[in-house]
């Protein structure tokens, strides 16, 4: 066999493996996920036509539905079989996530979302903000309908933490004195908090002990951190058509992420001057992004970021060992591996 063909087949297999992890988890939860999707469609209904138009655009953009899958998987792994609470809370989690995406795209002035024009690119900035508010309101309706103060506390706390994380990101934007610890605070807030809450409420509806709640929250938190670290690496390393958003957005927006922190810390004074000009001062030319990628490559910043992500994946998987082996536990273990092997 031709060596190029062999390499191509190996590459295809490597890319297929992580996708299969999510496919496997979704297959185990097919009926629950279909019910969740139906709940999302039902709750997005509104007599205000523009809300429906924006909602339809978001649904058409697809998405992995990873966060609601975590809620469904955690509940079933913990033995929940008492009704539809897990389905409605999974829909709630997805509403919170989608609301933050709508707001983020406006703040970041993003033009692509999942490979399609973002809502703010199609409509305007006001519409996605207001529809995002509508989705937050729907999420809180679902929390109240569930009737559990514990669930309400977990998801309300996560919503507040997400907002804090986004504001903290604004504070650290353009600031190359940001420490890795501060950067991780941003990641825990804006991304990982919802992963943690999504997994934890699965144990709550199954009425499991606090130790199992804590384990699932830890799993979700570490999974979410790994997920964001990989996102930040892919912003400099992925193919735009595969990534589903514009490559280099973080650079253009002056975001200080882990790959940059690594390259800045290890760079020469000339390289540091480049980062200060482009990220702190915002003075960029069309040649600067390729040069930034060269600097990241020189210091293996992408690989080092992925290594950090792998450490959080291992920690997430360790948290699951409190649960007995099962098809769902195995699938959640595989999803953790997917996080660092995914291509988008």
Quick: pLDDT tens for 95-125.
Answer: 999 888 887 777 665 655 444 555 555 656 7
Three state DSSP letters for 66-91? HHHHHHHHHHHHCCCCCCCHHHHHHH
On the question of pLDDT at 304 being above 80, the answer is: yes
Q: Which of 344, 114, 118 is nearest to 234 (CA)?
A: 344
Of 89-93, 127-131, 281-285, the poorest mean pLDDT is in 127-131
Which residues are 117's β-sheet partners? 112
* Position 49 confidence tier, pLDDT thresholds 50, 70, 90: confident
Q: What is the pLDDT of residue 20?
A: 85
73 compared with 340, residue with greater pLDDT: 73
pTM of the model: 0.88
Give CA–CA dist 47/201, Å, rounded. 31
* Domains of the chain from N-terminus onward: 13-333 (1.10.600.10)
Of 18-22, 44-48, 266-270, the poorest mean pLDDT is in 18-22
Give CA–CA dist 110/104, Å, rounded. 8
Of 13-22, 53-62, 325-334, the poorest mean pLDDT is in 13-22
On the question of pLDDT at 2 being above 50, the answer is: no
Q: What is the pLDDT of residue 15?
A: 43
For residue 170 the two structure tokens come to 């604004």
The runs of H, that is alpha helices, within the chain are: 3-28, 30-44, 49-60, 66-77, 85-108, 119-122, 126-146, 149-172, 180-187, 193-205, 210-237, 240-243, 249-252, 258-266, 269-275, 288-298, 301-319, 327-341
pLDDT digits over 276-298, tens only? Answer: 999 999 999 999 999 999 999 99
The runs of H, that is alpha helices, within 29-147 are: 30-44, 49-60, 66-77, 85-108, 119-122, 126-146
Give CA–CA dist 186/202, Å, rounded. 25
């Amino acid at each position: 066999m031709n060596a190029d063909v062999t390499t191509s087949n190996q590459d295809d297999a490597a890319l297929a493996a992580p996708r299969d992890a999510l496919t496997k988890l979704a297959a185990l939860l097919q009926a629950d996920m279909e019910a969740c999707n139906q709940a999302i469609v039902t709750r997005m209904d509104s007599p205000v036509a523009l809300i429906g138009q924006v909602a339809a655009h978001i649904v058409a953009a697809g998405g992995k539905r990873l966060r609601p899958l975590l809620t469904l998987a955690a509940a079933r792994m913990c033995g929940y079989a008492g009704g539809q609470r897990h389905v409605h809370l999974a829909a709630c989690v997805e509403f919170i996530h989608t609301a933050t995406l709508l707001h983020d795209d406006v703040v970041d002035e993003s033009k692509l979302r999942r490979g399609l024009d973002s809502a703010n690119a199609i409509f305007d900035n006001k519409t996605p903000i207001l529809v995002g508010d509508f989705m937050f309101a729907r999420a809180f309706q679902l929390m109240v309908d569930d009737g559990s103060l514990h669930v309400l506390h977990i998801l309300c706390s996560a919503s507040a933490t997400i907002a804090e994380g986004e504001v903290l990101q604004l504070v650290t934007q353009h600031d190359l004195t940001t420490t890795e610890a501060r950067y991780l605070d941003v990641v825990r807030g804006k991304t990982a908090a919802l992963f943690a809450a999504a997994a934890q409420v699965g144990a709550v509806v199954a009425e499991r002990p606090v130790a199992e709640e804590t384990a699932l929250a830890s799993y979700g938190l570490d999974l979410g951190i790994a997920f964001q670290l990989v996102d930040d690496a892919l912003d400099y390393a992925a193919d735009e058509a595969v990534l589903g958003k514009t490559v280099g957005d973080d650079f253009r927006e002056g975001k200080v992420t882990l790959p940059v922190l690594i390259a800045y810390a290890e760079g020469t004074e000339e390289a540091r001057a480049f980062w200060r000009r482009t990220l702190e001062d915002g003075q960029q030319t069309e040649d600067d992004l390729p040069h930034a990628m060269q600097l990241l490559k020189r210091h293996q910043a992408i690989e080092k970021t992925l290594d950090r992500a792998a450490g959080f994946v291992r920690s997430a998987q360790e948290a699951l060992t409190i649960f007995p082996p099962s098809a769902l536990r195995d699938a959640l273990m595989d999803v953790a591996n997917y996080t660092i092997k995914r291509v988008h």
